[in-house]
Amino acid sequence: MNTARLKQLFPTLEEALFEELVKHGTVKEVKAGDTLLRVGQTIRSTMLVMDGIVKLYREDEEGKEFFIYHLDAGQACSLSMVCAAKHETSEVLAKALTDATILSIPLEFMDQWMGKYKTWYQFVITSYRDRFEELLKTIDAIAFSNMDERLEDYIKKQVDKLGSSLKMTHQEIATDLNSSREVISRLLKKMEAKGWLVINRNTIEWVKKD
């Protein structure tokens, strides 16, 4: 792992921290679709995303997965950065959307860095704040919008991250939105009729401009 790359990804951090990151961090390469963190799993380390995109989910008792937001390169899973008690368990499910590179830092450094490096706790706090605002937007979507709007938002977000040609099945989208395949298929058909997208087997081509 090279320091230059870290500086690029985390430009707000101070010099000494890059050395700490290099020294104590472990780089993990994961494949698209891999699970990085399960609900209930004990958190032993903080994840910084160095490359690729990670999807975060909330899960209910029956294992239904509800997509909440993406983490891009240069972002961190804020929940794993502050663990009041040791052996705290995860509230969320994290999966790699694309192949990804994760920098994993053992939890014991968190407390220490928090006191030692001003830029670290600023990073932690802005991470929290940003994720918090994403959650608020997620709440808006489910509280105030119908499925058609939510689906449009969802597709736009995916397109933002992955480009306009989405390799997903209708079932996968339905799962993320906690809906059902048939509903998604029908709504996609309507959007296709409006000329917003083109449906092919396993892929959706988003063509709407706005």
Partner DNA sequence: TCATCTCTGTGACAAATATCACTGTACACA
Partner DNA sequence: TGTGTACAGTGATATTTGTCACAGAGATGA
Instruction: For residue 122, give Cα distances in angstroms to 6, 105, 118, 140.
Output: 17, 17, 6, 27
Q: Could you tell me the two tokens for 51?
A: 């490359």
Q: Classify residue 67 by its DSSP letter.
A: E
Question: Is residue 183 a contact residue for DNA (CB under 7 A)?
Answer: yes
Task: Determine which residue in the list 5, 86, 116, 189 makes contact with DNA, applying CB under 7 A.
Answer: 189
Q: Which does 82 bind (CB under 5 to 8 A by kind): a second copy, DNA, none?
A: a second copy
Report the DSSP pairing between strands 197-200 and 203-206.
Answer: antiparallel
Q: Which does 98 bind (CB under 5 to 8 A by kind): a second copy, DNA, none?
A: none
Q: Which does 79 bind (CB under 5 to 8 A by kind): a second copy, DNA, none?
A: a second copy
* Site size with a second copy, rule: CB under 8 A: 32
Task: Determine which residue in the list 23, 85, 87, 146 makes contact with DNA, applying CB under 7 A.
Answer: 146
Question: Is residue 135 a contact residue for a second copy (CB under 8 A)?
Answer: yes
**Helix H or strand E segment including 74:** none
- Pick the piece of the chain touching DNA (CB under 7 A) from 17-25, 40-48, 76-84, 165-173: 165-173
Q: How far apart are CA 66 and CA 179, in angstroms?
A: 10
Instruction: For residue 162, give Cα distances in angstroms to 85, 132, 137, 153.
Output: 37, 23, 20, 14
Question: Is residue 1 a contact residue for a second copy (CB under 8 A)?
Answer: no
Residues at the site binding DNA, with contacts judged by CB under 7 A? 146-148, 169-171, 178-183, 185-186, 188-189, 199, 201-202
